[in-house]
Amino acid sequence: MDAAQLNDVHEIVRGLCPEEHYSILSSQEGDNTTLLRIKCSQKHKLWIKIFNEGTYTEVKSEYSIVKMMTNKLTCIPAPLDFGNVLYDGSMKHYIIYEDVAAETVGLESEITLEMIKKLLSNLGTLHKLMRGLNFSELHSPRLTKSIQPTKQYISIGTDQLLSELVQLKNRIISKNPQIIHGDIYRNNVIFSQKETHIIDFSDMRIGAVEEDVAGALIIAMESGIKSNMEELLRTYELSSNNCLDKFALYSLMLYNIMVYGKIEKKHMFDKVMELRYRYEAR
């Protein structure tokens, strides 16, 4: 992060941090957002999410919806403020979140089975809350349509299988649509020994809950969790009061691995193909 970007960050945190000096503990660059963890004092830390894309209306909508959900759930960091600032040479919108975990687990650190179970339990609770949201009350255009998957370069599987999965994904999304997080992957989950928090609701949209659960299971597989998948799925279903479509779930996992994975994930591809086959004839 260069001097100009540091000065832009100072414009955001001024007034929220009692000290003139602060430190940036971590920085995560995504396709559309930059996520900064700021330490203002020994006990005062913040998350700042800077949007590389998105309109003021979309950012305000995310802020309002997430703030409403944090009044009912503890697994989502509470938004404190939002606005816009000149960042990296252009005007960007931002949301400031409270930092909820004292000791977080780094992206390269070990994730335990209990952490994954907590993620699936919290995801089920989140989906149950989202199920009750009224589509018509959501003002962001991003939430009014499901994202259509596009064919990209793949290093695992075949073009024919990917084509089948794309068609199946569209049918799954239209079967039991509800509002979902839309982007569950490692960078959007804060793990700690006591709690697991879900962040970054920029891709929140109408879709199928299996899409989010597929992302959580891929985190488990990437972390080397050896637990029975069915045990993990029961954790989610008990929390959400919702029965998952297992064939759809494993199909969505395959899609994610094929489109966003790399050849070194071939072992994951083979395992999910095996799980999917068990439900294909049911």
Return phi, psi of residue 263, to 5°.
-60, -30
Give the C-alpha separation, 234 to 228, whole Å: 10
Give the C-alpha separation, 190 to 200, whole Å: 11
What's the CA angle centered on 49, arms 76 and 58, to 5 degrees?
85
Say if residue 148's pLDDT is above 60: no
Percent of the chain at pLDDT exceeding 70: 77
Tell me the pLDDT band of 154, cut-offs 50, 70 and 90.
low
DSSP 107-150: TTS---HHHHHHHHHHHHHHHHHHHTS-GGG---GGGSSPPPP-
What's the pLDDT score for residue 181? 93
Mean pLDDT in residue range 161-182: 86
**Residue partners of 17: CB distance under 8 A and separation at least 6:** 38, 40, 41, 44, 46
The residue length of the chain stands at 282
Tell me the pLDDT band of 184, cut-offs 50, 70 and 90.
very high
Return phi, psi of residue 28, to 5°.
-120, 120
Mean pLDDT in residue range 224-251: 91
Q: Which amino acid is at 239?
A: S
User: E strands, 163-271, where?
Assistant: 178-180, 189-191, 196-198, 205-207
Do residues 232 and 120 lie in contact, with contact meaning Cβ atoms separated by under 8 Å? yes
Mean pLDDT in residue range 247-272: 84
What's the pLDDT score for residue 145? 47
Tell me the pLDDT band of 168, cut-offs 50, 70 and 90.
confident
pLDDT tens by residue, 14-59: 656 655 567 777 777 766 778 878 877 655 677 888 887 777 887 8
pLDDT tens by residue, 88-98: 778 888 888 88
Determine if residue 54 is left, alpha or beta; phi over 0 gives left, psi from -120 to 50 gives alpha, anything else beta: left
Give the C-alpha separation, 272 to 250, whole Å: 6
Tell me the pLDDT band of 141, cut-offs 50, 70 and 90.
very low
| Among candidate residues 74, 75, 48, 52, the one with its CA nearest the CA of residue 63 | 48
Give the C-alpha separation, 188 to 233, whole Å: 20
Say if residue 275's pLDDT is above 70: yes
Do residues 71 and 42 lie in contact, with contact meaning Cβ atoms separated by under 8 Å? no
Side-by-side strand order, sheet with 23-29: 23-29, 33-39, 45-51, 90-98, 79-87
